[in-house]
Amino acid sequence: MSATMFKDGISKVFHNRKIAEAKEAGWTFSPDEVKIKLKPRKKITKDKVNVTEVEIIKPTTTTTDDLSGPEDLNQEGD
């Protein structure tokens, strides 16, 4: 039979024959009894852009190639 043991925030499965050796080495059955050493994480900040005023440019059409209405929908197919 095997058992999961914890040490320094690491879990490991030990075979029944090696549990006594693991206890002597400092492994425990509960993760609550182990002190976990956490490394502080660096906070990554993103650059933010604040937009206060924007000029809106209206599109101008100079060609007459654009469809003026749904004329294509009135045609019958084959």
Which residue, chain included where needed, has tokens 């209206």? Answer: 58
Task: Please give the pLDDT value at position 40.
Answer: 82
Interval 26-43 mean pLDDT: 74
Does the pLDDT value for residue 72 go beyond 70? no
Interval 49-69 mean pLDDT: 73
Could you state, in order of their start, the residue ranges of all structural domains in the chain?
A: 1-35
Does the pLDDT value for residue 66 go beyond 70? no
Interval 34-57 mean pLDDT: 79
Task: Please give the pLDDT value at position 47.
Answer: 85
